[in-house]
C-alpha cells in the first residue's frame, strides 16, 4: 500500500502555508495532527524550495527543524528530513529521522551521498537541475520522461558509488522542479515508465502550480487539495511507494477508497514492479 508523507514546513516563506508552522511548538502540534490524520511519515523541512525562494544556511535550517524532529521522534512518529544539506541530514538522523528526502538527488551537496551511506537511512533522490532561483529557466527537454529517467539513472549510479545501497534508494520525478505544466502531466501519465529503473518511486504533486489549470480561475491554494488527492490515487494505482501531500486527511480518504476497490477486484499487474513498492525496511504497521 502506498505510504502518505505529510508535509511539515518549518519555514516563514513556504508557498503553501505562509509560515503557519514556523515556530517549534506550532510545528510539533501540526506534525502530531498529520500523524493522527493518517500520515505514515512526516516530512520536516526548514528551507523553502518554491520557485525564487531565498537560500538559508544549514545552521539556520537546523535551528528550525532539529527541535521538531527530536520531539516528534520522541513521541514515536516516523520522520523524513527535507533537505539538500548533508550536515542537516546527519543532524536529523541523530535526532531520529528515518528518511532523507533530498530534492537535489545529491547534486546540491557533494557530501550527501556519504551521509546517506553512513546513516543507512532511506534516501529519496529527486530529479533536480538547479536551485529555486534558477530552476524555471532549465525546463528544456527532448522527451521529458526519457530525459528524467536518464538523469535519475545517473544519480543512482553516483549514489551507489558513494556507498548507498540500492535497497535504500527511492526516486522522485520532481514534479514542478524545472518542469513546465505539460511536463508534469506527461510524467504523471507515464509513471509506469519508471519501472525500468527497478526502484521505488515517490510522487510529490501537492498544491503545485500545474494543478491550477484544472481549477476555475482565481481558485485558492487549498482548492488544489482535491486534484492532489486524485493524483495520489493515480500514483498509487501505478504502484508508487509514497505520495507527499499537505492535506493528509483528504489523501488518506482517497487511498482508502482505492484500497476498498482493489480488495474487491481480481489482482491486476501494476505499472511499477512489486519489488519496488517500498524499500525493504518499510512496511505498514
Q: 179 an active-site residue?
A: no
Strands, sheet with 242-245, edge to edge from the N-terminal-most edge strand: 169-172, 122-126, 99-102, 79-82, 41-45, 3-9, 242-245, 202-203
d(CA 99, CA 200): 14
Q: What residues are paired with 242 via a beta bridge?
A: 3, 202
Q: 180 an active-site residue?
A: no
- DSSP conformational letter for 125: E
Question: Cα-Cα-Cα-Cα dihedral of 113, 158, 98, 5, to 10°?
Answer: 130
- State the catalytic residue, choosing from 208, 224, 252, 278: 208
CB atoms within 10 A of CB 185: 18
How much is the CA Rg of the chain, to the nearest whole Å? 17
Residue where the block lists cell 551521509: 115
Task: Give Dmax (Cα) for the chain.
Answer: 52
d(CA 50, CA 138): 15
- State the catalytic residue, choosing from 179, 190, 224, 244: 244
Catalytic positions are 208, 244
Amino acid at each position: 500500500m502506498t505510504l502518505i508523507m505529510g508535509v511539515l514546513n518549518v519555514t516563514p516563506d513556504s508557498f503553501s502555508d505562509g509560515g503557519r508552522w514556523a515556530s517549534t511548538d506550532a510545528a510539533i502540534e501540526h506534525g502530531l495532527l498529520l500523524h493522527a490524520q493518517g500520515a505514515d511519515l512526516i516530512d520536516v523541512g526548514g528551507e523553502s524550495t518554491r520557485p525564487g525562494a531565498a537560500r538559508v544556511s544549514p545552521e539556520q535550517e537546523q535551528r528550525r527543524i532539529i527541535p521538531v524532529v527530536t520531539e516528534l521522534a520522541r513521541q514515536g512518529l516516523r520522520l523524513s528530513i527535507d533537505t539538500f544539506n548533508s550536515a542537516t541530514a546527519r543532524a536529523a538522523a541523530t535526532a531520529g529521522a528515518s528518511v532523507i528526502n533530498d530534492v537535489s538527488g545529491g547534486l546540491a551537496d557533494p557530501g550527501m551521498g556519504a551521509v546517506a551511506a553512513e546513516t543507512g537511512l532511506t534516501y529519496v533522490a529527486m530529479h533536480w537541475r538547479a536551485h529555486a532561483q534558477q530552476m524555471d529557466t532549465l525546463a528544456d527537454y527532448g522527451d521529458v520522461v526519457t530525459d528524467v529517467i536518464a538523469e535519475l539513472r545517473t544519480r543512482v549510479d553516483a549514489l551507489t558509488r558513494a556507498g548507498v545501497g540500492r535497497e535504500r534508494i527511492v526516486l522522485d520525478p520532481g514534479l514542478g522542479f524545472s518542469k513546465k505544466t505539460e511536463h508534469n502531466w506527461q510524467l504523471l501519465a507515464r509513471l509506469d515508465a519508471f519501472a525500468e529503473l527497478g526502484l521505488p518511486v515517490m510522487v510529490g504533486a501537492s498544491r503545485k502550480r500545474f494543478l491550477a489549470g484544472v481549477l476555475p480561475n482565481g481558485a485558492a491554494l487549498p482548492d488544489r487539495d482535491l486534484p492532489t488527492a486524485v493524483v495520489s490515487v493515480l500514483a498509487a494505482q501505478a504502484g508508487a511507494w509514497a505520495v507527499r501531500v499537505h492535506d493528509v486527511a483528504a489523501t488518506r480518504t482517497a487511498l482508502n477508497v482505492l484500497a476498498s476497490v482493489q480488495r474487491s477486484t481480481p489482482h491486476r499487474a501494476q505499472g511499477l514492479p512489486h519489488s519496488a513498492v517500498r524499500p525493504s525496511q518499510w512496511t505498514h504497521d
